[in-house]
Amino acid sequence: MSEVRSYYGRPILKEPVWKPEIPLYFFTGGLAGASAVMGLAARAAGNEPLAKAGTYLSFAGDVVSPALLVADLGRPERFLNMLRVFKVTSPMSVGSWILAASGATSTAAAACEVLGILPRAKVAAETMSAILGAPLATYTATLISDTAVPVWHEARRELPFLFGASAAASAGAAAAMLVPAESARPARRLAVGASLVENALLLAMEKRLGDLGEPYRKGVSGRLSRLAKASTLAGAAILGRRGRRSRAAAVVGGALVLGGELALRWSVFEAGFESARDPKYVVASQRERLGAHAAA
């Protein structure tokens, strides 16, 4: 990519104002959403230990996620203010309502599970939580894609699927660490399969973006991306080969997958800052769009 200069060497775009709590939220929100879907599927299959794990993991993720958002916003009322209106054209507005509704339903399901009461209400709450699970796991990708940051906006085709696969791998890995081996088989398969899909999507995204995808391959983001690939693949290999025979292997493999998924979200987060900081990515993306319009 040729050198591009801006006025007085200043960035063309302002860097995102998000704090480190946001990539943590990307991770916990994805874990909560995918765990809700996994838990309901396990309930339907009669796998009670895995169903309980999915319910509790979803509840844990839904409890931590708003706390992370409030920490980033600075004051609790700022999060509550986002719930004053519902704007379907705003990913942030839609996502806030999804998180709030998911938190309410997963809390109700977890309470019924712990207290052993209201079985029908528990199933209804789990069902609604699972319906909200997929949007919760992927809306953050839509949120960052709907910005002017080149490396996020230009990756809008892959990011929702990448975040979805990452969330599924996280849910499967976490459940495999908590559930006895005989009941954790579907969770292990989910973690292994989603990890492979995620890495394939990441490579395809980087290839399609070409020079615009440089922030994903260099600097802090590049190091985190390489760590994510190595950790998720190593964890998936351990879960697939030894997780069914050894609880220790399931814990180690699950921890590696979870660590890799967190590194992936942080890598995407850091890439956005680098992309906004360097004018060449902004100008190059504009030139590509102008060229595509001219060709059309």
Go through the domains of the chain in sequence order and give each one's CATH number.
Answer: 14-295 (1.20.1630.10)
* Per-residue model confidence (pLDDT) at position 283: 56
| CA geometry: angle 129, 94, 63, nearest 5 deg | 45
Give the pLDDT confidence score for residue 289 in this predicted structure.
Answer: 56
- Decide if pLDDT at 290 tops 60: no
Q: What is the mean pLDDT of residues 18-39?
A: 94
By percentage, how much of the chain surpasses pLDDT 90? 62
Query: Which pairs from 251-254 meet CB under 8 Å and 24+ separation?
Result: 251/177, 253/173, 253/176, 253/191, 254/173, 254/174, 254/176, 254/177, 254/191
At residue 56, the pLDDT reads: 97
Confirm if 228 and 264 have CB atoms less than 8 A apart: yes
CA dihedral 15, 144, 190, 55 (to 10 degrees): 100
With b for 16 or more beta-carbon neighbours within 10 A and e for fewer, the 134-160 pattern comes to bbbbbbbbbbbbeeebbbbbbbeebbb
Sign of CA dihedral 220, 99, 204, 273: negative
Q: What is the pLDDT of residues 109-143, one digit of tens each?
A: 999 999 999 999 999 999 999 999 999 999 999 98
Torsion angles phi and psi, residue 79, rounded to 5: -70, -40
Task: Return contacts of 84-92, CB within 8 angstroms, 24+ apart.
Answer: 91/139, 91/142, 91/143, 91/146, 92/143
pLDDT digits (tens, 9 = 90+) for 239-285: 999 888 888 999 999 999 999 999 999 999 999 988 877 766 665 55
What's the pLDDT tens digit per position in 90-108?
777 888 899 899 999 999 9
Mean pLDDT highest for which of 47-61, 72-86, 89-103?
Answer: 47-61
* Position 158 confidence tier, pLDDT thresholds 50, 70, 90: very high
* DSSP per-residue letters across 143-160: HHHTSS-HHHHTTTTTHH
Residue 216 has pLDDT above 60, yes or no: yes
Q: Nearest Cα to 22, choosing from 147, 205, 116?
A: 147
Q: Return the minimum-mean-pLDDT range out of 53-57, 75-79, 186-190.
A: 75-79
For helices 159-178 and 48-73, the axis angle rounded to 10 degrees is: 120
**Is the model's pLDDT at 147 over the cut of 70?**
yes
Q: Tokens representing 262?
A: 């967190």
pTM: 0.89
**Tens of pLDDT along 231-244?**
999 999 999 998 88
